Amino acid sequence: MKSRWVDSDAQTLVDQLAKLGVGDDLALRVYTTRLLGQDPQLVLHGGGNTSVKTHMPDLLGEHTEVLCVKGSGQDMAKIEPAGLPAVRLAALKKLRAFDALPDDELVRIQRANLLDPTAPTPSVETLLHAFVPHKFVDHTHANAVLSLSHQPNGPDICGEVYDGRMGFVPYLMPGFGLAKKAAEIYEAKRDVDGLILHKHGIFTFGASAREAYERMIEMVTRAEERLTRRRNAVFVARALPERIAAYCEVAPILRGACSIKDPLVEGAWRRQIFDFRTSSAILNFVNGAEVMRYSQAGAVTSDHIIRIKNWPLVVSPPEEGKLNDFRREAQDAASAYVDRYHAYFARNNARCEVKKQPLDPLPRVVLVPGLGLIGLGRSKTEARISADLAESVVRTITDAEAIGRFESIGEWEMFECEYWSLQQAKLGKEPSSPLAGQVAVITGGGGAIGAATARAFARAGAEVALLDIDEKAAVAQAKEIGGAALAVKCDVTDPASVRAAFVRVVETFGGVDIAVSNAGTALMGLIGEVDEALLKQSFEINFYGHQRVAQNAVKVMRAQGIGGCLLFNVSKQAINPGPRFGPYGLPKAATLFLVRQYALDYGAAGIRANAVNADRVRSGLLTSDMIAQRAQARGLSEKDYMAGNLLGREVTADDVAQAFLHQALELKTTGDVTTVDGGNIAAALR
Ligand SMILES: [Zn+2]
């Protein structure tokens, strides 16, 4: 590991921040905090923290000695001065005299001593920073240091590697007790450059930002060098089937196995989004003969527990052509995981004075021998974080096993971290988005109705995939939605193209829960004279297109085994033909029947099929030019033409999107057609 300190970069930031009234101390603190945060070998997703002791005026203008310390949950890689709130140092130092201090009381005292009462809550490790005298203090959960210290003889190995230059603090849960213990160990030997926290991480100290930072780099490098020496061969591989099934076949099965029924709402499931990773290092880890030992030994650092729990789920290798066996084994493994989690909760909760509320028992990481690992979460963002942490676990445990044997903290210690109120606060409240954890595929996603539907579903918490023959349009709409919205080129008249698009969606998110079959083309012609080729062309897109999308969606939904929802854009033409609109209306009428056939054939599997009949919506099918022509032909203004319905209101793409969203949420409705046309008695269903 090399120092990434550059004098000119540091100076540039100091100059920039000076213009905003930020002093040199805090500016340099921001600079090295970012350097640390940008290295995934040191810090991941909100882990780690830093501080500087300095002076600044309080709100009344009085010169005050403060500790600027990272706010809880702030991302070090992108930190700004406001992410390092200033706390009155004298007040923090007074706490040293206390014998004990509960966490919530500690947070109250820290918040009460913020210079700015609106600043973020200081890190839960603030007191450790306050109790050591150095101006700059850096803390990370460096993988290499964790690999050294997570050993039965971790203290000896650290002693040998650091040769008296680092103090060694036995494992304690973060909070007041750990801060006090660390300070005592520091005071017993004041010439150390930092502290190793057993099974937790590393602190380094310095008189300057550069010194503390470069000590961190030096100490982590020492750990890395030790890990390159006297290595055992890891891991001995298990026997694997000759042919492993493809990830896109395996993911839906696992997604079903890793979902649980919502006990409060019949028909609803708690689902998760997947993020798949594979590499030679990951395969080496998941394919090991002893994977059930080292992967189940426990967490690597307390920060991980709240995101990826104490253990991953390990399933058997999926053999090609034997997916039914794999499904059974995966379901058994997942339910054993859930049982183990419930038992773990009950056992440890029994020891708590104040009883805890159990978190959901589902795994956040799945190891699949032969394929790789999967991070799980309620959104793609959460799934990626799980996968990032899992990759870092693979590295830490692999290195630990190479020089000895990986050993975690005890079960009770893990429970304390997982159910610690302050850690729980970091996660925030679970979003109440009704479609969280669900994957929605929308065909014609680049068009007006498709894009509006994708937006509505994304706002409701779903991950969305926009399929369109016009790739550019789909990309533009996905970009506007932001997040993990995926754009895929797809021609619904080509079976291979539809299949490939679903593979892409499954590889990206793990499965499919909702398919909105919306792509269509309005072809016209007098029915007695129309060219048969045109009629067939219309059937290709306006009927077979829907059938292909539904068929592919149902295949994935059946593999998941947790129900699903098919939604079709049918059109008013299906029941109320317009003049010269036969080529469009006929396949749409067949599609209306298709909706009912899917509802009938797959209701028992929990797959619902519903449709929206919309009329006169501005879109690629009804362009401004067409509107102008038709309005003129009827002697109406464009506005009156568009609002020519019982309610006198123009129907928009967003209105159609809301109808689809509604149908996606109606868990007891299938075979339904919802009309969105502002009122047209001739087109009313009877
Ligand atoms: Zn820490």
Cis peptide before 415 (omega within 30 of 0): no
Q: Which residue has the tokens 């920060």?
A: 303
In contact, 620 and 447? CB cutoff 8 Å: yes
In contact, 569 and 614? CB cutoff 8 Å: yes
pLDDT at 424: 63
Q: How confident is the model at residue 89 (pLDDT cuts 50, 70, 90)?
A: very high
pLDDT at 302: 81
584 is known as an active-site residue:
yes
In contact, 216 and 42? CB cutoff 8 Å: yes
Instruction: Return residues with CB closer than 5 A to ligand 1 (ion).
Output: 201
Of 584, 598, 602, 641, catalytic:
584
Beta bridge partners of 443: 467
- The pLDDT of residue 426 is above 70: no
The model's pTM is 0.93
Q: How far is ligand 1, taken at its centre, from the CA of residue 364, in Å?
A: 21
Residues 6+ apart with CB under 8 A from 623: none
pLDDT in tens, 107-156: 999 999 999 999 999 988 999 999 999 999 999 999 999 999 999 998 99
Q: How far is ligand 1, taken at its centre, from the CA of residue 36, in Å?
A: 14
Residue type, 422: L
Structural element, H or E, at residue 161:
helix 154-162
- The pLDDT of residue 429 is above 80: no
Q: How far is ligand 1, taken at its centre, from the CA of residue 89, in Å?
A: 20
pLDDT in tens, 55-83: 999 999 999 999 999 998 789 999 999 99
- Label each residue of 286-308 as H, E or C: HCECCHHHHCCCCCCCHHHHHHH
Half-sphere exposure of 500 (CA within 13 A, CB side): 13
Mean pLDDT of 462-466: 98
pLDDT at 630: 83
Residue type, 484: A
Least confident range from 45-54, 113-122, 417-426, 477-486: namely: 417-426
| CA dist., res. 97 & res. 271, Å (int) | 48
Least confident range from 6-15, 82-91, 351-360, 494-503: namely: 351-360
Nearest of 377, 368, 402 to residue 144 by alpha carbon: 402
In contact, 639 and 611? CB cutoff 8 Å: no
Residues 6+ apart with CB under 8 A from 521: 538, 541, 542, 584, 621
Q: How far is ligand 1, taken at its centre, from the CA of residue 210, in Å?
A: 21
Q: How far is ligand 1, taken at its centre, from the CA of residue 175, in Å?
A: 10
Mean pLDDT of 287-300: 94
Q: What is the DSSP letter of 48?
A: -
Q: How far is ligand 1, taken at its centre, from the CA of residue 302, in Å?
A: 8
Alpha carbon 112 to chain centroid distance?
A: 33
